[in-house]
Protein backbone atom coordinates (compact mmCIF):
# COMPACT_ATOMS: atom_id res chain seq x y z
CA UNK A 1 0.00 0.00 0.00
CA UNK A 2 1.45 3.34 -0.94
CA UNK A 3 2.27 5.98 1.64
CA UNK A 4 -0.19 8.39 0.03
CA UNK A 5 -2.98 5.81 0.24
CA UNK A 6 -2.17 5.14 3.91
CA UNK A 7 -2.25 8.86 4.72
CA UNK A 8 -5.53 9.30 2.85
CA UNK A 9 -7.11 6.31 4.61
CA UNK A 10 -6.03 7.62 8.02
CA UNK A 11 -7.41 11.09 7.27
CA UNK A 12 -10.72 9.55 6.19
CA UNK A 13 -10.87 7.36 9.32
CA UNK A 14 -10.28 10.38 11.55
CA UNK A 15 -13.02 12.32 9.77
CA UNK A 16 -15.49 9.45 10.22
CA UNK A 17 -14.62 9.09 13.91
CA UNK A 18 -15.16 12.83 14.35
CA UNK A 19 -18.56 12.70 12.66
CA UNK A 20 -19.60 9.71 14.80
CA UNK A 21 -18.56 11.60 17.91
CA UNK A 22 -20.58 14.63 16.82
CA UNK A 23 -23.59 12.41 16.02
CA UNK A 24 -23.45 10.78 19.46
CA UNK A 25 -23.19 14.20 21.10
CA UNK A 26 -26.21 15.52 19.19
CA UNK A 27 -28.22 12.37 19.95
CA UNK A 28 -27.46 12.72 23.65
CA UNK A 29 -28.26 16.41 23.75
CA UNK A 30 -31.35 16.53 21.56
CA UNK A 31 -32.91 13.08 21.86
CA UNK A 32 -31.84 11.08 24.93
CA UNK A 33 -31.83 13.98 27.40
CA UNK A 34 -35.33 15.13 26.51
CA UNK A 35 -36.77 11.64 26.14
CA UNK A 36 -35.50 10.71 29.61
CA UNK A 37 -37.20 13.75 31.10
CA UNK A 38 -40.48 12.91 29.41
CA UNK A 39 -40.45 9.16 29.98
CA UNK A 40 -38.58 9.08 33.30
CA UNK A 41 -36.57 6.11 32.02
CA UNK A 42 -32.85 5.56 32.37
CA UNK A 43 -32.64 3.68 29.06
CA UNK A 44 -34.16 5.68 26.24
CA UNK A 45 -35.03 3.48 23.29
CA UNK A 46 -34.49 4.39 19.66
CA UNK A 47 -36.93 3.68 16.84
CA UNK A 48 -35.63 0.11 16.60
CA UNK A 49 -36.42 -0.53 20.26
CA UNK A 50 -32.80 -0.57 21.44
CA UNK A 51 -30.83 1.74 23.71
CA UNK A 52 -29.09 3.75 21.00
CA UNK A 53 -26.49 5.66 23.04
CA UNK A 54 -24.31 2.59 23.80
CA UNK A 55 -24.65 1.52 20.16
CA UNK A 56 -23.42 4.90 18.90
CA UNK A 57 -20.47 4.70 21.29
CA UNK A 58 -19.68 1.20 20.03
CA UNK A 59 -19.70 2.32 16.38
CA UNK A 60 -17.36 5.15 17.26
CA UNK A 61 -14.95 2.89 19.20
CA UNK A 62 -14.91 0.23 16.47
CA UNK A 63 -14.21 2.80 13.77
CA UNK A 64 -11.46 4.42 15.85
CA UNK A 65 -9.67 1.04 16.21
CA UNK A 66 -9.95 0.09 12.54
CA UNK A 67 -6.78 0.32 10.47
CA UNK A 68 -6.15 -0.70 6.87
CA UNK A 69 -3.67 -3.55 6.67
CA UNK A 70 -0.95 -3.71 4.06
CA UNK A 71 -1.50 -6.59 1.63
CA UNK A 72 0.97 -9.31 1.99
Best CA proximity match to 28, nearest among 36, 39, 19: 36
What confidence score (pLDDT) does residue 68 get? 65
Q: Is residue 56 exposed (0-12), middle (13-18) or buried (19+ Cβ within 10 Å)?
A: buried
Task: Assign 64 a pLDDT band (cuts: 50, 70, 90).
Answer: confident
Segments making up each domain of the chain, as ranges: 14-65
CA-based radius of gyration for the chain: 17
pLDDT at position 10 is: 86
* pLDDT(60) > 70: yes
Residue-level length of the chain: 72
pLDDT digit string, tens, across residues 3-54: 888 888 888 888 998 999 998 898 888 877 776 666 555 566 777 777 888 8
pLDDT of 72 strictly over 50: no
Amino acid sequence: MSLLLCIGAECFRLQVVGKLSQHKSFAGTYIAKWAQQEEREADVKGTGGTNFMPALGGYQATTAKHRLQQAG
